[in-house]
Amino acid sequence: GGHIKRRTGASADGAGFVLPDVYFLHRCVKMHKKRPSSDGDSGSVKRACKEIAVDVPELAKSTVRIQDRKRVQEILQSIHNGGPSKLQVIADFDMTLTKFAHNGKRCPTCHNIMENSTVISEECKKQLQGLLDKYYPIEIDPKRTIEEKTPEMVKWWNEAHDLLISQKIQKDKLVLTVRESDARLRDGYRVFFDELKKQSIPLLIFSAGIGDVLEEVIRQAGVFHPNVKVFSNYMDFDESGILQAFKGQLIHTYNKREGALLNSDHFQELKNKRNIILLGDSMGDLTMADGVHSMENILKIGYLNDKVEEREAQYMNAYDIVLEKDETMDVVNGILKYITAKN
């Protein structure tokens, strides 16, 4: 989806020509392989492009949109220079680490996993679907400000949680509920989680979903490693294992900044991890790193999953790298490979 940004170069006879970015990147890789780059009139552009493409070949994927390539190159270079010991990854979960769609069918969020399960009555499912139909268009509406959306999100989450509580969900049903669901982590997830573990890079998953469900998804996938920490909405079960409430402060799509600042103890423990890769899929995810102490570099990667054309400009202005309808971790894994490569 979306248009391909075009770049003007100079042809042999001096006339201008226009190439799509993606093609330009592929050409750069090829040129680099064939011969060393010469410093012609568009040499610096070619060189910056060549470096991005050669260091991280995955950035040549057709799903990738980058507004300011030079800036991305500089951030990548700085994070690479710092190496894995200075890096932490902060990621949203639903539709960021999990797929938005698989074979044309929408994949469930943590809340959807509960909603689609046998632990919820048909009447409750209808009511939850009604909330989705009412509030989701507000959540992704590019014309409304975050300030306008926030009270609506609070209402949505609280109403949904009240409905879930009314169902007297049993804790011991969670494992089966997740196992029977269509939850899917993005293609390449194992490389992502295992590489972070291998390099001792902390992964903070910051989710407006349901923490118990989220943890079960990554546990069943075999990637809930010790370097993974989750901030989310956790269920509170009574002594007989029945859901009675949700714990702590509500985390919704647009208040992650408060959550980040509330959990500043966590960031204090990681005070030497001053380089951040942030992964999100909404404007609300951009503030997830606001609790980080003395940040040096941050690379923001945004998955644009839905309503691509309407939201492309907004995402390109906010995120350093935008991945449009990309159901994989390829680009993130390519970047990690580059950062953790020995200098």
Taking the whole predicted model, whether its pTM rises above 0.75 is answered as yes
pLDDT at 260: 81
pLDDT, one tens digit per residue, over 63-95 is: 999 999 999 999 999 999 999 999 999 999 999
Environment class of 54 (CB within 10 Å of its CB; exposed 0-12, middle 13-18, buried 19+): middle
Contacts 24+ apart (CB under 8 A), 239-242: 241/170, 241/171, 241/172, 242/168, 242/169, 242/170, 242/171
Phi/psi-derived region of residue 22, left when phi > 0, alpha when psi is between -120 and 50, beta in every other case: alpha
Task: Please tell me the least confidently modeled range out of 110-114, 167-171, 208-212, 267-271.
Answer: 267-271
- Catalytic residue, candidates 13, 39, 68, 94: 94
Residue 16 has pLDDT above 70, yes or no: no
- Catalytic residue, candidates 92, 281, 285, 320: 92
User: Catalytic site residue 92?
Assistant: yes
User: Catalytic site residue 265?
Assistant: no
Q: What type of residue sits at position 307?
A: K
Distance (Å, whole) CA 77 – CA 68: 14
Distance (Å, whole) CA 139 – CA 256: 14
pLDDT, one tens digit per residue, over 117-143 is: 999 999 999 999 999 999 999 999 989
